[in-house]
Amino acid sequence: MSLPLEGVRVVDAVEEKGELCGRLLADLGADVVRVGPARDSYDFAVRNANKRGIAIEDRDRFLAGADAFLTSVSPTAAVMQDHPHLVITAITDFGLTGPYRHYVGTNAVMVAMGGMLFRSGTLDRPPLLPPGNLAYDVAGVSAAFATLAALWQRRPQLIDVSVMESVLQITDWSLPGFAVETGVDPLRSGSGPVYSIYPCKDGYVRVIVLSPRQWAAMREWLGNPPELEGAELNGLLGRLGIQATVIDPLYIELFSKYGAAELADEAQRRGIVITPVLRPDQVLETPHYIERGTFVDAALLPGRRGKVASGVFEIDGQRAGFRHPFAPAPPGEWSRTGVDTPVRDISPARPFEGLRVIDFGIGAVGVEAARLLGENGADVIKIESRTSPDFIRVVLGSEMNASFASSSRGKRSFGVNVKTPEGLDFVRRLIAGADVLIENSGTGVMDALGLGWSVLHELNPRLVMVSSQLMGSRGPWKDWRGYGPSTRPPSGMTYLWNWADGPSAAGTKPGPSAAETQQSAPPGSFAVHPDHLVGRVCAVGALAALIGGQRNGDSGRHVEVAQVETIINFLADILLEESVEPGSAQPVGNKAARLVKCAGDERWVVVDSGADIEIDGEAWALRSDRDLVAELQARGVAAGYVVYPSDMCTDPHLVARGYPRQVDQPGHGRMWLEGPAFHATGIPEPIVAPAPGHGEHTREIARDLLGLTDAAIEKALENGVLEGPLSG
């Protein structure tokens, strides 16, 4: 199989911050050479696989023949002057501009400053750091997207990627949700009452029951007890009032009869969203992952052979991931001969102007991928139906809310009943003229609609289709349904997102009460992670496939991203070490940092655990978190404060870099939305426009793209084939 980025040449001088960027580009076929010596660590081995190493003194010779240069410091004037043909991507903690640009960070500091820590853990202890290198890996994904956008644009430029803003992008719509709907900062409550974790016979499971259909199935499984009757319990809010006292004890009694995997299988068969909490050693031996080829056996480090996560992408049914360990590059250099880097005269056009994207996304994964393309110029058409609505649109009882407005900003809405022959024909005609289609429905849904890959590839051979399912489209668990939090338990992340002195997530007997159950379960976070992250990974895959067609004349590609495998690959170094040194992968809590309480309600400062500084808890408890961080940073100490949603539109650094954006959303007034993760000298600022009402653009799309007359459009609307706004 040819890989889409074959022929793309990248020099990678990144140190820790965003090393995953070069790895993703290499997985997709780019020739990536890394500058400098290797580190003897699982972390380095995983994030630098598929790359080749060169000495520092050889850097400029390779830059002369490269398409892109990745760095974790501000590039020197000499580099930009000597190599004006390059796309230069700088990945730094806080970006190259703004009041914090000279601050120093660590992964832990950036998780806090990026808004991923305020909802993590429980109030009886400090906020709990997630496992792995989440902040720096997320920045690597943002950098990969930005770099590919510039390569697609074919315009040399400097890209400024901020780790802080990259992480803020994946915080569950925290900014718009706070500013528009609550005005109150949520406090951490572990997995919370919505994404609850319960004990079973041999471990734990996560249970998410949201829809009336799911609740009816669960009630039937429980034997339809009379205390669960009542229409008010069909809604989540109605159940929360009796969750701890009535519902939880019934769950615990039922679940005690099953092992975790057995319980999840039975629940999924019934249409109930339950997934098992797996330990890392269980992840490595799970039949689903074995059948999918999620891991390959390889020696990434001398004398240490183990199981390596095989990558996040599948292209046309084949894995595009791990091929070889990091190794020295052969002597020589790249020639510019034949490297295709013409500069388009497109200023100030956005990189994706002229592209049409068909958005079948639901929830966050697909819609976020399409959002990134749309805010950079693509015409995104969201396919909608009132009989099967995107649940994020209607979750609060109306057809608009802050979450939907954020992820569907600037899109056009085409209301259509795809289950009618006429509606299906309309959609197929739209797809025939599209460049990209993105979907994250359950496995088999698109095929059942007559919109599977084989059909669409024949209809439009140049189409790039991106699919993302919870557990992937193959394997024993391929039919499992769920939400973002459903993917964390079977990946090993939930088990690891715990205190070092916390109880094991397997072999624990059920507690006698719901309260004790919540105390004994891994606390984790009530975030919907990894939905927003997977959306960005999908966007990277879409861009790579487009570039493959642009540079190499490839036909369309089918890119698949299993949501659970995204987390597994982000934890790949931990899982690799577990396969080499069994028992090593255990929760470590806040080992990477010291968290200190400051003045105010649940205000915390994160200090690098390796910093040579004495913490004065009593004195610091009287200090403002922002003032204390400023003082520590002035002393060269890596420190940051735990950013809450209320901070996201007032923090001086974020304001200076233009992160909080406002939009006039019809019917809702001014909304705060998230800004970009990067700025670039050759890419205009992103489009921040209102989200569409349901079917708002049905008439214009039917007229302009399908060629229907006004009479034909009105007839289709009357017959329910097309759908417009409720007001007409």
Report d(CA 704, CA 231) in Å as an integer: 45
Report d(CA 24, CA 5) in Å as an integer: 10
| Residue 11 tokens, joined | 């020099």
Backbone angles phi, psi at 349, to 5 degrees: -60, 150
User: Can you give the three-state secondary structure of 617-652, one letter per residue?
Assistant: HHHHCCCCHHHHHHHHHHCCCCEEECCCHHHCCCCH
* Tokens 């102007």 -> residue: 353
Q: Is the dihedral of CA 570, 574, 579, 580 positive or negative?
A: positive
Dmax (CA) of the chain: 77
pTM equals 0.96
Average pLDDT over residues 199-205: 96
Which pLDDT belongs to residue 551?
84
Cβ atoms of 238 and 232 within 8 Å: the answer is yes
Per residue in 532-558, pLDDT (tens digit) is 999 999 999 999 999 999 887 778 999
Whether the predicted pLDDT of 338 surpasses 50: no
User: DSSP letter at 33?
Assistant: E
Which pLDDT belongs to residue 244?
93
Which pLDDT belongs to residue 662?
95
Report d(CA 601, CA 583) in Å as an integer: 38
Whether the predicted pLDDT of 333 surpasses 80: no
Which pLDDT belongs to residue 503?
56
Whether the predicted pLDDT of 527 surpasses 50: yes
Report d(CA 622, CA 602) in Å as an integer: 12
Of the pLDDT bands very low, low, confident and very high (cuts 50, 70, 90), residue 336 is low
Name the packing angle between helices 563-570 and 572-580 (round to 10°). 70
Work out the number of other CB atoms within 10 angstroms of the CB of residue 727.
5
Whether the predicted pLDDT of 215 surpasses 70: yes
Per residue in 626-652, pLDDT (tens digit) is 999 999 999 999 999 999 999 999 999
Average pLDDT over residues 504-533: 66
| Residue 299 tokens, joined | 């020696």
- The burial of 688, by beta-carbon neighbours within 10 Å (0-12 exposed, 13-18 middle, 19 or more buried), is given as middle
Of the pLDDT bands very low, low, confident and very high (cuts 50, 70, 90), residue 519 is low
Which pLDDT belongs to residue 181?
67
Whether the predicted pLDDT of 348 surpasses 60: no
Nearest to 86 by CA among 155, 8, 160: 155
Which pLDDT belongs to residue 290?
99
Whether the predicted pLDDT of 395 surpasses 50: yes
All structural domains of the chain: 1-181+644-685 (3.40.50.10540), 189-295+313-320+357-377+439-588 (no CATH), 379-434+689-719 (no CATH), 589-643 (no CATH)
Which pLDDT belongs to residue 507?
36
Range of weakest confidence among 191-195, 362-366, 374-378, 448-452: 191-195
Over pLDDT 90: what percentage of the chain? 88
Per residue in 280-298, pLDDT (tens digit) is 999 999 999 999 999 999 9
Report d(CA 543, CA 146) in Å as an integer: 10
Which pLDDT belongs to residue 330?
77
Cβ atoms of 157 and 87 within 8 Å: the answer is yes
Report d(CA 723, CA 420) in Å as an integer: 12
Backbone angles phi, psi at 383, to 5 degrees: -85, 125
Per residue in 560-594, pLDDT (tens digit) is 999 999 999 999 999 999 999 999 999 999 999 99
Average pLDDT over residues 63-92: 95
Cβ atoms of 607 and 640 within 8 Å: the answer is no
Measured in residues, the chain has a length of 728
Which pLDDT belongs to residue 459?
98
Helix (H/G/I), strand (E/B), else coil: 80: helix
Terminal-residue alpha carbon distance, the chain: 50
Which pLDDT belongs to residue 513?
46
| Residue 447 tokens, joined | 């095929």
| Cis before 523? omega within 30 | no
Q: Is the dihedral of CA 275, 281, 283, 286 positive or negative?
A: negative
Report d(CA 105, CA 638) in Å as an integer: 5
Name the packing angle between helices 134-153 and 19-27 (round to 10°). 50
Range of weakest confidence among 11-25, 42-56, 384-398: 384-398
Report d(CA 265, CA 272) in Å as an integer: 10
Whether the predicted pLDDT of 334 surpasses 90: no
**Long-range contacts from 212-218, C-beta under 8 angstroms, 24+ separation:** 213/271, 214/271, 214/272, 214/273, 215/239, 217/270, 217/271, 217/272, 218/270, 218/272
Nearest to 377 by CA among 339, 411, 337, 424: 411
β-strand pairing of 593-597 with 604-608: antiparallel
Which pLDDT belongs to residue 728?
47
Q: Can you name the residues that pair with 297 across neighbouring β-strands?
A: 307
Q: Is the dihedral of CA 62, 68, 72, 74 positive or negative?
A: positive
Per residue in 676-719, pLDDT (tens digit) is 999 999 999 999 999 999 999 999 999 999 999 999 999 999 99
Nearest to 404 by CA among 221, 177, 166: 177
Report d(CA 94, CA 114) in Å as an integer: 10
Of the pLDDT bands very low, low, confident and very high (cuts 50, 70, 90), residue 346 is very low
**R_g of the chain computed on alpha carbons:** 25
Of the pLDDT bands very low, low, confident and very high (cuts 50, 70, 90), residue 727 is low
Element spanning 59, H or E: helix 59-63
Computed over every residue of the chain, the mean pLDDT equals: 94
Of the pLDDT bands very low, low, confident and very high (cuts 50, 70, 90), residue 15 is very high
